[in-house]
C-alpha cells in the first residue's frame, strides 16, 4: 500500500466569488471613512465596482439581499497562535484561516512561538507563502529575540523586510530590561511595535490562576496581578525613554489599564489590546475546575474585568484580540495543574464582544467595528481595508440581530478548547469576502 498526498484535509472550503456579485440593501459601516449608510454594493471580479443603488432588473450576476445586515471592512485579529510549524495536530495555517473566516476575520497576525520559532526571514516567508493560498491574510509577527530565548535581538530589519508586522516573544516575557530597551530602540527604525507579554516570571513562579480570594479557596497557586503591573510599568518606562512603540498584549489588570491610560496622556507610544474572555469571565469561573478557564494571563477579578471594559470604552485599550490558543484535547483533559494555558477564540470573538460591549451599551457599533477593522491595522502601521469604489473587496458581513449558539461541531479550528460551547450570542459574522473568494460562516 502506498500513501497518497493529501491536497487538503478539509471539506470546508473557501469558494470563488461570482464574477458579478451584488449585495443588496446592506448597511455599510466603515469607521475609518466615517461612513454609515444603507445602500447596494456591487463587486465585479473581486473589486468594489459601485456603492449606490443598483437596478436588479437586467442584472446578470448573483444577488444577495442583506437588508438589515452590515457590510464592514474585513476584520483583523492581531494576536493568534496558529501552531504551524510544530504542532499541526492542534492547528495549521489552513485550519487557522478557516477558523478566522468562520469568525468573521479576513486577516490575522500569528505569533512566533512555533517550533521552530518565527525568528528568521525563511520562517516569515514560509508562513507568508503557505498563507497565500487562503483568502485570510496571515501576517506573521516575528520574535524579538533569537529562538525567543531573550538573549540576542532577532534580525529585525531582515524580518521586517520579509514581511513581519510586529515583534513579540509572546508566551514568554523579554525578561531582561536591557534587551527590551534595545528592542524598542532598534524596532523604531522600521516603525514596528514590540508586543510585550507582561508577566514577571519570578513573581508568576508556577502560578495557575489569579491570586486572590478564589485561588485561596481553591488551593491553586496564584499569579499575582502585580506580576503584570510591574512589567507593564517597566515597558512603559522603557518606551518613554527610548521613544519606541510598546504594545501591551492581552492586558488584564485594573492597575495595568490605568498605567496605559496615564502613559497615553503623557504621549508615550503605547497601545494595548484586551481579549473577550478577560472582559467576559472572572476568576470565579475557575471554581468549576474546567481547564478551559486556565489561561495566561489568568482570568482576573470582577474589578479587573470592569476596568478592562472602562479601558475599552475610553479608548485606553485600542484593540480586541482573541489570543487564539489551540491545544490538543488530551492535554486540556489533564488535571488542572498539568493542563496547558489558553483557549481558542477566533470564532467567539465577535459574539462575546457584541454581547458584552454592544448590547450592554459600552461601545457603539462604530466604536466596536473600529476595534476590529481599523485599530489593529493602525497599531501595526498598516492601512486598514476600506469599503470604497475601486478597492479590493475585503469585507466582513455581519448580522447584528441573528441569535446563535456555539456548537462544537461548528468550530472549524482544529482544537475545540473553549469554555463557551453552548453559549448563545446575538450578532453573527455570517460571511467574509477577500481576494475574490468568500466564506459563508458555519457557526
Partner 1 sequence: MQTQKRHLLGLDGMSGSQIQEFLDVAKHFREVLDRPIKRLPTLQGKTVVNLFYEPSTRTRISFELAEKRMSADIVNFSASTSSVKKGETLIDTVKNIEAMKIDMVVVRHSSPGAAHILSRVLDANIINAGDGGHEHPTQALLDMFTISQNFSSLKDLTVAIVGDIAHSRVAMSNIYGLKSMGARVLLCGPATLIPREIDKLGVEVYHNIDEVIPQVDVLNILRIQLERQSSGLFPSLREYHNYFGITRERLRRADRPILIMHPGPMNRGLEIASDVADSEHSVILEQVTNGVALRMAVLYLLAGGQSEIH
Among 59, 133, 213, 407, indicate the residue that binds partner 1 (CB under 8 A): 213
Q: Are 26 and 67 in contact (CB under 8 A)?
A: yes
247-282: buried (b, 16+ CB within 10 Å) or exposed (e) per residue? bbbbbbbbbbbbbbbebbeeebbbbbbbbbbbbbbb
Q: Which stretch binds partner 1 (CB under 8 A): 123-131, 270-278, 334-342, 431-439?
A: 334-342
HSE, side-chain direction, 13 A CA sphere, residue 421: 14
Among 86, 338, 364, 403, indicate the residue that binds partner 1 (CB under 8 A): 338
Does the protein bind partner 1 through residue 221 (CB under 8 A)? yes
**Shortest spacing between CB 223 and partner 1, in angstroms:** 12
Does the protein bind partner 1 through residue 255 (CB under 8 A)? no
Among 47, 216, 364, 424, indicate the residue that binds partner 1 (CB under 8 A): 216
Active-site choice (137, 200, 235, 323): 323
Among 106, 145, 187, 215, indicate the residue that binds partner 1 (CB under 8 A): 215
Place of cell 457603539: 364
Total of chain residues touching partner 1, rule CB under 8 A:
19
59 vs 289, beta carbon nearer partner 1: 289
Is the bond into 300 cis (omega within 30 degrees of 0)?
A: no
Does the protein bind partner 1 through residue 217 (CB under 8 A)? yes
Indicate if 323 belongs to the active site: yes
Place of cell 489552513: 94
Q: What distance in Å separates the CA atoms of residue 431 and residue 395, rounded to the nearest whole number?
A: 8
**Shortest spacing between CB 337 and partner 1, in angstroms:** 4
Residues of this chain, 270-329, that bind partner 1 according to CB under 8 A: 289
Q: Are 162 and 178 in contact (CB under 8 A)?
A: no
Q: Are 293 and 419 in contact (CB under 8 A)?
A: yes
Q: What distance in Å separates the CA atoms of residue 412 and residue 424, rounded to the nearest whole number?
A: 18
Does the protein bind partner 1 through residue 193 (CB under 8 A)? no
Q: What distance in Å separates the CA atoms of residue 315 and residue 362, rounded to the nearest whole number?
A: 11
Among 96, 212, 276, 345, indicate the residue that binds partner 1 (CB under 8 A): 212
Does the protein bind partner 1 through residue 422 (CB under 8 A)? no
Q: Of 174, 253, 173, 258, nearest to 211 (Cα)?
A: 253
Q: What distance in Å separates the CA atoms of residue 68 and residue 336, rounded to the nearest whole number?
A: 45
Among 157, 189, 202, 337, indicate the residue that binds partner 1 (CB under 8 A): 337
Among 335, 361, 409, 422, indicate the residue that binds partner 1 (CB under 8 A): 335
Contact residues toward partner 1 (CB under 8 A) are 211-213, 215-222, 289, 330, 333-338
Q: Which residues are tagged catalytic?
A: 323
Amino acid at each position: 500500500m502506498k500513501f497518497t498526498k493529501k491536497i487538503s484535509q478539509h471539506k470546508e472550503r473557501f469558494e470563488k466569488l461570482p464574477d458579478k456579485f451584488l449585495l443588496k440593501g446592506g448597511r455599510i459601516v466603515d469607521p475609518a471613512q466615517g461612513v454609515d449608510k444603507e445602500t447596494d454594493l456591487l463587486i465585479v471580479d473581486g473589486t468594489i465596482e459601485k456603492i449606490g443603488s443598483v437596478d436588479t432588473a437586467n442584472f446578470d450576476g448573483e444577488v444577495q439581499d442583506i437588508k438589515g445586515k452590515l457590510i464592514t471592512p474585513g476584520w483583523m485579529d492581531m494576536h493568534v497562535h496558529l501552531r504551524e510549524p510544530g504542532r499541526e495536530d492542534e492547528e495549521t495555517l489552513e485550519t487557522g484561516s478557516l477558523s478566522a473566516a468562520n469568525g468573521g476575520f479576513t486577516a490575522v497576525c500569528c505569533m512566533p512561538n512555533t517550533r521552530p520559532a518565527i525568528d528568521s526571514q525563511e520562517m516569515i516567508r514560509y508562513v507568508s507563502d503557505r498563507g497565500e493560498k487562503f483568502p485570510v491574510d496571515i501576517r506573521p509577527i516575528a520574535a524579538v529575540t533569537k529562538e525567543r530565548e531573550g538573549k540576542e535581538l532577532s534580525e529585525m530589519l531582515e524580518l521586517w523586510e520579509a514581511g513581519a508586522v510586529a515583534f513579540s516573544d509572546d508566551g514568554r516575557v523579554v525578561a531582561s530590561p536591557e534587551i527590551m530597551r534595545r528592542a524598542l530602540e532598534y524596532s523604531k527604525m522600521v516603525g514596528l511595535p514590540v508586543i510585550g507579554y507582561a508577566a514577571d516570571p519570578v513573581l508568576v513562579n508556577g502560578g495557575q490562576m489569579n491570586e486572590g480570594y478564589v485561588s485561596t479557596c481553591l488551593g491553586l497557586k496564584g499569579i499575582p496581578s502585580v506580576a503584570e503591573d510591574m512589567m507593564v510599568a517597566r515597558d512603559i518606562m522603557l518606551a518613554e525613554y527610548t521613544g519606541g512603540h510598546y504594545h501591551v498584549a492581552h492586558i488584564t489588570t485594573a492597575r495595568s489599564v490605568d498605567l496605559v491610560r496615564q502613559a497615553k496622556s503623557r504621549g508615550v507610544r503605547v497601545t494595548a489590546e484586551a481579549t473577550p474572555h478577560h472582559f467576559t469571565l472572572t476568576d470565579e469561573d475557575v471554581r468549576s475546575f474546567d481547564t478551559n478557564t486556565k489561561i495566561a494571563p489568568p482570568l482576573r477579578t470582577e474589578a479587573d474585568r470592569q476596568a478592562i471594559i472602562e479601558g475599552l470604552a475610553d479608548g485606553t485599550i485600542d484593540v480586541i484580540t482573541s489570543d487564539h490558543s489551540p491545544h490538543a484535547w488530551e492535554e486540556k483533559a489533564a488535571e488542572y495543574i498539568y493542563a496547558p494555558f489558553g483557549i481558542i477564540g477566533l470564532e467567539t470573538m465577535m459574539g462575546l464582544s457584541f454581547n458584552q460591549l454592544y448590547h450592554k451599551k459600552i461601545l457603539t457599533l462604530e466604536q466596536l467595528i473600529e476595534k476590529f477593522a481599523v485599530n489593529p491595522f493602525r497599531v501595526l502601521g498598516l492601512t486598514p481595508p476600506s469599503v470604497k469604489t475601486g478597492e479590493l473587496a475585503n469585507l466582513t458581513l455581519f448580522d447584528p440581530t441573528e441569535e446563535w449558539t456555539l456548537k462544537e461541531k461548528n468550530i472549524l479550528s482544529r482544537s475545540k478548547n473553549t469554555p463557551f460551547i453552548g453559549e448563545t450570542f446575538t450578532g453573527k459574522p455570517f460571511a467574509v469576502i477577500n481576494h475574490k473568494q468568500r466564506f459563508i460562516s458555519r457557526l
